Each structure stands twice: as structure tokens, then as C-alpha cells.
Amino acid sequence: MKKINIIFATTYDNIFCLNNRLNLPWTNIKEDMKFFRKLTLNNTIIMGRQTFNSLNNKPLNFRENIIISNTLNNNKDNNFIITKSLDEAINISSNNNIYIIGGMNIIDEALKRDDIDNIYLNKIKLKRNKIISNPVYYSPDIPLYLNLSHIITKKFDNYNIKFIKYSKD
């Protein structure tokens, strides 16, 4: 049976991305990236076209990459899969551990499902002086069948991260 997970991050103030939707309000936070890599490595990741664009149209290594898009149709290297819907992406995944990584529309659609096993939400507290231009706010409704499993707050030099997990268990 496939295990379906959602993984994403926002700031403490629920800023998800900038108005161009291709950039995060932070850059290369090592601990957040390590956490993402540890969970998704050797598993399937599902993303929308804009999230794929934010990765410079390059799939992430050592993962099965599935992109949901109505406009992409050319994959010369066969190093990722293009589908038209979230249901199709989940069904064709060759892996039993799936991570839905964004963007907002794909996460919103996933949150309406009744078969999500876990949500991993990292809340990042940025430097106090950081000014964010044109933020896009996102505070999704967590399905009622998921319970808060744990919150771990870690402090680093210029930021704090709350690692939050919701799960069925």
C-alpha cells in the first residue's frame, strides 16, 4: 500500500513563497534541506510545474520525479514523468513512499484527500531584519483525521526551525 506524505515549509508568519512563486523567502537553509533530502531520498516526489520550474527544470537526483502539468509534454531524457493529475501521479508511482512537495495548488488538492499518512511542515523563523517583498501567505487546513505527532524546535545561528509532523498514527 502506498504511503502518501506532504512536505513543505513556511515562515513563522506563514509566508510560503514570493509573488513570482519561483522563489522561497529564504535561501539554502542547510538543516531544512538536509531534512527534506533525508525523507525524500530514494522515494517518489510529486510536484507541480511551477515547483519544477523553481528547480531549474531539473529533477532531483535519486528520486522518482513526477510533475503534474497540462503544458509540459517534452521529456527527452526520460528522467522524470509528466502527468495531468495528482491521482494519476500517485497511481503511476513505482514507489510505495510518496512525497508531495508543492506548489500550493497541489498541496491544497492533496489535503482534500482522505489517504494522506503524514504532513511534514517546517516553520522557519528568519532574521528579524529580513525584509520580504511581495510575500505569498499560505496556511492550509490540516485534515481532521491527522493528529499532531510532534514539534521539535531547533535554534541555529540566524534562524530557528520548528519541525512539525502530523500523522494518522
Q: What is the pLDDT of residues 65-90, one digit of tens each?
A: 999 999 987 666 678 999 999 999 99
Instruction: Domain ranges for the chain, please list them.
Output: 3-167
Q: What is the pLDDT of residue 63?
A: 97
Please say if the pLDDT value at position 111 is more than 90: yes
Q: Could you tell me the three cell numbers for 15?
A: 509566508
- Across the chain, mean pLDDT equals 89
Bridge partners of 144, per DSSP, are: none
Q: What is the pLDDT of residue 13?
A: 86
Where do we find the cell 494518522? 168
Bridge partners of 47, per DSSP, are: 67, 102
Say which residues have a Cβ less than 8 Å from residue 127's Cβ, sequence separation at least 6.
Answer: 158, 159
Please say if the pLDDT value at position 127 is more than 90: no
Please say if the pLDDT value at position 58 is more than 70: yes
Domain 3-167 has CATH 3.40.430.10: yes
Which residues in 2-48 belong to E strands, given as ranges?
Answer: 3-11, 15-18, 44-48
pTM for the whole structure: 0.91
Q: Closest Cα partner for 102 from 138, 63, 144? A: 138
